[in-house]
Structure 1
Amino acid sequence: MAAASSSNNINYITAVFGFGDSTIDAGNNNYLATDTRSDHPPYGVDFPFHIPTGRFSNGKLPIDFIVSSLALKESLPPYLDPRLTDEDLLTGASFGSAGSGLDPLTAQSSNVLNISTQLDLFDRALRRIKGLVGDRRASFIVENALFFFSIGSNDLLFNFYDSPARTSEFTISGYQDYLLQNLEAAIQRLYNRGGRRFVVTSLSPIGCLPLEVTLFSNTSQRMCVQQQNNDSIAYNVKLQLLASRLETQVLQGSKVAYYNVYNPMEDFIYNPNKVILLSGFKQTLKGCCGTGLVEVGSTCNVTTPICSDRSEYVFWDAVHPSLKTYRYLAEVAILTVISHVLGH
């Protein structure tokens, strides 16, 4: 296993390849026949040149800040962008698709890229890389690349909470196990392609998403849905155990980092003025777009008013964090998971 062990001697990351949902989709859905898209104002109002790129944010995503911090590129491009060159692929791309999940049913309901299709696209990208630089250099790039997963929330939202498509087949714990089996299979597939560095992102406090608060708060006071948060915590415990097992017992020579976004998001929502954060958040359970209660995607559009000070909002729309939140979450990744996959 010389190839597996040699990556531990390389103290840098050659490329970043992203897989998952809207938290890592840099605009792939722009090129799909789906209504799950954000390629319109006011999305992107704080992106360079104020361009709506298809990112579900007012600006960049965490993965954009991460690739910039690694000096790979300013932001991670979507793979389906026809302008993406083979040279661009040498330092990575996003295969993520807003509305996707680890359950094939999740992507099917939105007509977006399921995780298997995202991996098929990576195989296509790998062929392009090999065509440009040859097998040996391509293997080096893949071996020392970072494979970043940010996925899972939609499975619970679409199939358990907001639409009970899977509740007759699974208990919540059984469904979590099913999702994690699919994640393990995806990571194994990339390992078989030569990948050795992986990041798996925790769920955030799903019960604190403004949309869920709107749908499930039983009182006039907006409050997080504690049972959904408890489910997120339970899933995250299992995910952390999976990451550890894959690294130490299953995938020889690999690094599998668990990226905890739950705790910082919980801090933003419950302790927005915590001194250590200096966040200055004032609105924690509403989005900046429209009423902040339900607007997301097509209902957050050019006719929708937005808040006057976006820096005060944890959430940009009723589901997705704001640029300010995402920037902080990226700093968490840079300080924790990047050092782990580099073996520091």
Structure 2
Amino acid sequence: MKLLAKALGVKEYLPAYLDPLIQDKDLITGVSFASGGTGFDPLTSTLASVIPLSFQVEMFEQYIEKLKKKVGEEDAKNIINNSVYFISASSNDFLTNYFVYPFRRLQYDVPAYSNLLLKRAAKFIKEIHELGARRIVVFSASPIGCIPIERTLKGGIKRKCVGKYNKAAEVFNIKLKQQLQVLASSLPESRIAYSDFYNPLTNIIENPQLYGLEVTDKGCCGTGQIEMSFSCNSLSTICQDDSKFFFWDSLHPTEKGCEIFTDLIIPDLVKSLF
């Protein structure tokens, strides 16, 4: 999100709303309510012990009240109406919930689970629209089967992309795009953009040389095949040049990877939102 804010010319750094050092000026130019690991499915945030979307809406309401006190009600309304809202979820719903724990798989097949996620996504979008959000970007699910850790765990001895996981993402994405079109036509004054996460990332992973990369099937940290998050630390071995890797660890992109992805999607986002 930091790179998106920079690419749109807003500011260099997008602070977290819950940052205790946040300043009043940050409220005027934008903050992040996101919580890494959450999803549209409330169970996902529970399993990951992170902030659910429902509480993110509450934080947004708190933010609006603070903004009104800072700049006045009319200016606050203009800021809220003209800001861009990025929503990125769904991949964790599949990766850390549906395909890991049996609870949802016993209740739903992939199409039915996708419908559950869409219902929750629509509810969230309607709630922030009611609070004044008008320009809303929703990212699709990524090619989750090609993430290094999934290649290692489910991709066989050759660590191939996991077709079943990617197919689930594709099913969800088709439904998401349709749902967003319906919402865009039904919510007053809204511009709701579907941002394709799946195909640009697939293209980068399959054609790294086109983007100045060399390695896209493992991360820079450690073996790059299983380590992620806290298991990447000062004791971990690190690749010599992380700018040649798309992934930093077995799950998250490097800064270079994020920059490449941002450059690919920004032109379409600008057309959709402005």
TM-score (norm 1): 0.77
SS of the counterpart of 2:208? coil
What's the counterpart of residue 166 of structure 2? 229
1:172 Cα deviation from its structure 2 partner: 1.0
- Higher helix proportion (structure 1 or 2): 2
Identify the match of residue 28 of structure 2 among 65, 90, 108.
90
What's the counterpart of residue 246 of structure 2? 314
**Which amino acid is the alignment partner of residue 280 of structure 1?**
G
Equivalent positions of 1:1-344 (< 5 A) are 63-218=1-156, 220-248=157-185, 250-273=186-209, 278-342=210-274
**Which amino acid is the alignment partner of residue 93 of structure 1?**
V
Checking the alignment, whether the CA contact within 8 Å between 2:213 and 2:246 is kept in structure 1 is yes
Checking the alignment, whether the CA contact within 8 Å between 1:213 and 1:223 is kept in structure 2 is yes
Identity value in percent: 38
Checking the alignment, whether the CA contact within 8 Å between 2:39 and 2:90 is kept in structure 1 is yes
SS of the counterpart of 2:106? coil
SS of the counterpart of 1:199? strand
**Which amino acid is the alignment partner of residue 235 of structure 2?**
T
1:72 Cα deviation from its structure 2 partner: 1.9
1:85 Cα deviation from its structure 2 partner: 1.7
1:165 Cα deviation from its structure 2 partner: 2.8
Q: Deviations over 1:26-79 (max 9, x none)?
A: xxxxxxxxxxxxxxxxxxxxxxxxxxxxxxxxxxxxx21221233321011111
Structure 2 residues not aligned, in runs of 5+: none
What's the counterpart of residue 57 of structure 1? none
1:290 Cα deviation from its structure 2 partner: 0.8
TM-score (norm 2): 0.97
Checking the alignment, whether the CA contact within 8 Å between 2:195 and 2:269 is kept in structure 1 is yes
Q: Tell me the distance in 2 between the aligned counterparts of 1:266 and 1:64.
A: 22
Q: Tell me the distance in 2 between the aligned counterparts of 1:82 and 1:294.
A: 33
Q: Tell me the distance in 2 between the aligned counterparts of 1:226 and 1:64.
A: 31
**Which amino acid is the alignment partner of residue 198 of structure 2?**
Y
1:333 Cα deviation from its structure 2 partner: 2.9
Q: Deviations over 1:109-168 (max 9, x none)?
A: 222101111111111111110111111111111110111101111111122212233111
Q: Tell me the distance in 2 between the aligned counterparts of 1:187 and 1:332.
A: 25
Checking the alignment, whether the CA contact within 8 Å between 1:158 and 1:164 is kept in structure 2 is no
Q: Tell me the distance in 2 between the aligned counterparts of 1:271 and 1:70.
A: 26
**Which amino acid is the alignment partner of residue 237 of structure 2?**
P
Aligned length: 274
Q: Tell me the distance in 2 between the aligned counterparts of 1:232 and 1:88.
A: 35
**Which amino acid is the alignment partner of residue 182 of structure 1?**
R
Q: Tell me the distance in 2 between the aligned counterparts of 1:69 and 1:143.
A: 20
1:84 Cα deviation from its structure 2 partner: 0.7
**Which amino acid is the alignment partner of residue 244 of structure 1?**
Q
Q: Tell me the distance in 2 between the aligned counterparts of 1:313 and 1:164.
A: 33
Checking the alignment, whether the CA contact within 8 Å between 2:99 and 2:105 is kept in structure 1 is no
Q: Tell me the distance in 1 between the aligned counterparts of 2:261 and 2:29.
A: 22
SS of the counterpart of 1:94? coil
Q: Which runs of 4+ in 1 moved over 2 A?
A: 162-165
Checking the alignment, whether the CA contact within 8 Å between 2:211 and 2:260 is kept in structure 1 is no
**Which amino acid is the alignment partner of residue 188 of structure 1?**
K
1:185 Cα deviation from its structure 2 partner: 0.6
1:280 Cα deviation from its structure 2 partner: 2.5
Q: Tell me the distance in 1 between the aligned counterparts of 2:208 and 2:25.
A: 42
